[in-house]
Amino acid sequence: MRISELLNESLITLSLQHRDKTGIIEELLDLAVQSGKIGHRSEALKAILDREALMSTGLEKGIAIPHAKSSAANEICMALGICREGVEFDSADGKPSQLIFFLLAPESAAVQNIKVLGQIARLTSDTSIVDALKAAGSSQEAFDIIRKAEGEIGF
């Protein structure tokens, strides 16, 4: 399962309204809820926030990957928030996060869940892709960057 199979333009936002971690997580969760893949919003939110409480998923270089497994998810769902100026996400390097990959998976989808997390890790380890995503002018453009990176529309 690829990132581009989980995302589409409607699951990518370049206009995050919030500037705080919980608000951003809720915004991305709402996108995922709209996709119909999440049964219980409050349960899903609790799972993500409980995971954040263990240690922030704000990484380095402007990347954050809030994630969890929860029975609230009917299937693996993803959303992506892009904020050029960055948002406070309690990141490992103390810098604002610009790419926020939200991932929620059913409890029973451990294999696929870790594979997708591995794919996000690989994707975001490529500086040129990260820079291109941060500079994307639209959801469609961001989605095309990911598809291209995953080889679906060629290099």
Rounded to a whole number of angstroms, the minimum distance from the CB of residue 126 to other proteins is 9
Least distance CB 42 / other proteins (angstroms): 22
Task: Give residues in contact with other proteins (CB under 8 A).
Answer: 51, 54-55, 57, 59, 65, 67, 69, 92, 107, 110-111, 113-115, 117-118, 120-122, 149-152, 155
Per DSSP (E only), the strands in 37-146 are 63-64, 67-69, 77-87, 97-105
Nearer to other proteins, 33 or 79 (CB): 79
User: Distance (Å, rounded) from C-alpha 84 to C-alpha 90?
Assistant: 17
DSSP secondary-structure letter at 96?
P
User: Does 40 participate in catalysis according to the annotation?
Assistant: no
CB 106 within 8 A of CB 74: yes
Query: Which residues are tagged catalytic?
Result: 67
